[in-house]
Structure 1
Amino acid sequence: MTATAAPATATPTGTNAPSGPRRVPGAVLVLIAMAVLHTGSALATELFPALGPAGTTWLRLSFAGIFLLAFTGRSLCRTLRAARRADLVATALLGVVSAAMMLLFSEASARLPLGTATALEFLGPLSVAVVASRRSRELAWLAVAATGVLLLTAPWTGATSQTGILFGLGSAACWALYVVGTAHVGSRFSAPHALALSLSVAALAAAPFGAHAAAAALTWQTAAAAAGIAVLMPLVPFLLEMKALQRIGKTTYGTLAGLEPAVSLLAGMILIAQTPDALQLAGTALVVTAGIGATRAESRR
């Protein structure tokens, strides 16, 4: 997502502008968005036994797409009529990448602790930040993150699901593509329209993998739960981040985003009783440090 400057408001000379309510700082909005997002991730795992990871993901994407299409309404129709075919194709491809990223992450979090799955996925945007810095010495941040992931997964014990690790790495690759694709699509469409289009395509792309499993076990209770999770991830976090990016720069935002693995680990502890050991805590700290360091390196360039 690209930071945009909030429009300035002129005040007539010689008059005092009304104080009005104080705005919530952008950094606080980002932290709230992360907390809501990973709360949704943790709660989604509770639906896995009934719907399966793919079924849960498909329902979440479907509800999110429906909500956004209803929200954007006529303005989206006008945008579609004026859009170039190449831009629509790029948005559709972003939707396919989004579906793959979310499906793979759900499969990873079904087999790994939530904090570990998030740390693996975070390698994707971290790699993009290191490459964007164009300095070979910044590869050290990837080495730090890789060390953290080794501590989190402890492959020498044989206790960690190797399939889950592969799913997590696949999700990381998709998140890297998502970062690049979002930069392109975000310059062609407004944020709500881009998300409405891409998530609708994502729901269609995920249907072959999750629709059958979801439909076979769907009840009013699971449908309502999936709809609520769709609000938690990505609708509310997306709206909060749009507001935040009007108030803070990309460097501050990227630095805060580096806390994602730690927030995810905390959500897993509180909501679904996933208690980390000392190695997992150390590994999360290393991944967070790498994320913040890589963001700072990119901003200096």
Structure 2
Amino acid sequence: MQQSASSRPLVGVVLVVCSCLSLPFGAAVAAQLFPVLGPWGVTSLRVAIAAVLLLVIVRPRPVRWNRTQWIAAALFGLSLAGMNGFFYAAIDLIPLGPAVAIEFLGPLVLAAVLTRRLGDAAWVALALLGIVLLGIDGLVGSEPLDPLGLLFILIAAAFWAMYIRMSARVGTLIPGSGGLAVGLAVAAVLLIPVGVPAAVTVAGDMQLLLLAAITAVLSSVIPYSFELAALRRLPQRVFGVLLSLEPAFATLAGWLILGQNATPLRMLAIALVIVASVGTTLGVHSGRRRADADARRDGADPDGGPAPDVGPDSDETGPFTAPIPLPG
């Protein structure tokens, strides 16, 4: 049964929420491996395990790809390696909740650049206020942010914005999850220099290997698969703002698993980003409904007939209609 056009954005929202819920809990598990393997060693193992799992499950056929598809998958892999490596290096030095909040500057700036509506800009501004409050809490609270950790998380933020762009492009050019599987394989190859010592360490310890596998599933396989599917249903600007839910889940994961405290200011900031995410969700769903109403008024069937020419870089949701260039 074909999925109705009006339900597609709502499915995309659910996929993003599930991704936001899975990622920080995977990061909290990964943090427990840092004393033994180091953040870059954990990153390498996590990406390698995820790549092997997806290559076995998806069985992509990259030999049939053209040059454009290969370049997109390679750049996607580069963004995955940089985003994950610098993020883990950062949370080895600063708390998980503020780290995720500051890293969100990447998709937030991207959302602001792609926003064309005043209402969307207001939600972006509200999310930005929440991020600023989280940064203030990290600077003046009981756990000041380490300068090196701050630098690492800002680099990770830039790679996160690149990841969103390249994930959208891979989703456009390569059907299914083949692009994700190959992208993770590229990232694993790039991380080999820091991954060999970690692999030797876990080879004789099943408990460490199990924790690394759990991290790979929670932090790579589940969220990246969901986000790739979500970006086929949502505009990138909406996707970027919805990711502002992640600091809330990261703070929860840090509190439950790592025993990290959540101050009142931090909770207020998290509430602001949640409100921004809810507002964006309601806006995109009502926009889709208006598009369907216009299609019916014009005599088109929104579920099976001609549809408006829309896409993630347009003002509505829908399939990709044109390649999306890498920023910069």
Instruction: Please indicate the TM-score interval, normalised by the length of the shorter structure.
Output: 0.7 to 0.9
When residues 240 and 290 of structure 1 are mapped into structure 2, their CA distance, relative to the original with a 3 A threshold, is: closer
Residue 84 of structure 1 corresponds to which residue in structure 2? 66
Alpha-carbon deviation of 1:102?
Answer: 0.2
Q: Distance in 2 between matches of 1:177 and 1:242?
A: 14
When residues 146 and 116 of structure 1 are mapped into structure 2, their CA distance, relative to the original with a 3 A threshold, is: closer
When residues 150 and 241 of structure 1 are mapped into structure 2, their CA distance, relative to the original with a 3 A threshold, is: closer
Q: Distance in 2 between matches of 1:157 and 1:241?
A: 34
The answer (yes or no) to whether the contact 1:133–1:297 under 8 Å persists in 2 is no
Task: Tell me how large the CA RMSD over aligned residues is.
Answer: 3.2
Counting only pairs closer than 5 Å after superposition, residues 91-170 of structure 1 correspond to structure 2 as 91-134=73-116, 140-141=125-126, 144-145=129-130, 147-154=132-139, 159-170=144-155
When normalised by structure 1's length, the TM-score is: 0.78
> What's the secondary structure of 1:102's corresponding residue?
helix
Counting only pairs closer than 5 Å after superposition, residues 260-299 of structure 1 correspond to structure 2 as 260-289=246-275
> What's the secondary structure of 2:145's corresponding residue?
coil
Q: Distance in 2 between matches of 1:214 and 1:81?
A: 29
> What's the secondary structure of 2:35's corresponding residue?
helix
Higher relative contact order (CA 8 A, sep 6+): 1
Residue type of the alignment partner of 1:159? P
Q: Distance in 2 between matches of 1:228 and 1:30?
A: 20
The answer (yes or no) to whether the contact 1:64–1:230 under 8 Å persists in 2 is yes
The answer (yes or no) to whether the contact 1:127–1:142 under 8 Å persists in 2 is no
- With 127-136 and 289-298 compared, the bigger mean Cα shift is at 289-298
The answer (yes or no) to whether the contact 2:171–2:231 under 8 Å persists in 1 is no
Please point out which of 46, 50, 66 is paired with 2:52: 66
When residues 160 and 254 of structure 1 are mapped into structure 2, their CA distance, relative to the original with a 3 A threshold, is: closer
Number of equivalent positions: 276
Q: Distance in 2 between matches of 1:158 and 1:271?
A: 17
When residues 166 and 191 of structure 1 are mapped into structure 2, their CA distance, relative to the original with a 3 A threshold, is: farther
Alpha-carbon deviation of 1:210?
Answer: 3.5
Residue 7 of structure 1 corresponds to which residue in structure 2? 2
Residue 221 of structure 2 corresponds to which residue in structure 1? 235
Residue 16 of structure 1 corresponds to which residue in structure 2? none
Q: Distance in 2 between matches of 1:104 and 1:165?
A: 10
Alpha-carbon deviation of 1:51?
Answer: 0.6
When normalised by structure 2's length, the TM-score is: 0.73
The answer (yes or no) to whether the contact 2:102–2:131 under 8 Å persists in 1 is no
When residues 100 and 60 of structure 1 are mapped into structure 2, their CA distance, relative to the original with a 3 A threshold, is: same
Alpha-carbon deviation of 1:81?
Answer: 2.7
Where structure 1 has 5 or more consecutive residues not aligned to the other structure, the ranges are 1-5, 10-24
Q: Distance in 2 between matches of 1:64 and 1:285?
A: 32
When residues 147 and 245 of structure 1 are mapped into structure 2, their CA distance, relative to the original with a 3 A threshold, is: closer
Residue 198 of structure 1 corresponds to which residue in structure 2? 183
Where structure 2 has 5 or more consecutive residues not aligned to the other structure, the ranges are 5-9, 288-314, 316-328
> What's the secondary structure of 1:154's corresponding residue?
helix
Alpha-carbon deviation of 1:37?
Answer: 2.2
Identity, in percent, stands at: 34
